[in-house]
Amino acid sequence: MSNIKLHDSQIRQIKDICASYGNKPGELINVLHTTQGVFGYLPEEVQREIAKNLNIPVAKVYGVVTFYSFFTMKPKGEHAISLCLGTACYVRGAEGVLDELKKQLGIEVGQVTPDGKFSLDCLRCVGACGLAPVVLIGDKVYGRLDPSKVKEILANYR
Residues forming the site for other proteins (CB under 8 A): 1, 24-30, 32-33, 44, 47-49, 51-52, 56-64, 66-71, 85-92, 123-132, 134, 141, 143
State which residue, 44 or 78, has the beta carbon closest to other proteins: 44
State which residue, 78 or 125, has the beta carbon closest to other proteins: 125
* Shortest separation between residue 74's beta carbon and other proteins, angstroms: 13
- Closest C-alpha to 134, from 125, 143, 126: 143
- Closest C-alpha to 54, from 23, 30, 32: 23
State which residue, 10 or 115, has the beta carbon closest to other proteins: 10
Amino acid in the structure at residue 104: Q
* Shortest separation between residue 50's beta carbon and other proteins, angstroms: 9
Specify the pairing of strand 140-142 against strand 135-137. Answer: antiparallel
* Shortest separation between residue 157's beta carbon and other proteins, angstroms: 18
Measuring CA to CA, how many Å separate 1 from each of 24, 45, 46, 48, 110? 27, 9, 13, 12, 23
Q: How many residues does the chain have?
A: 158
* Shortest separation between residue 107's beta carbon and other proteins, angstroms: 18
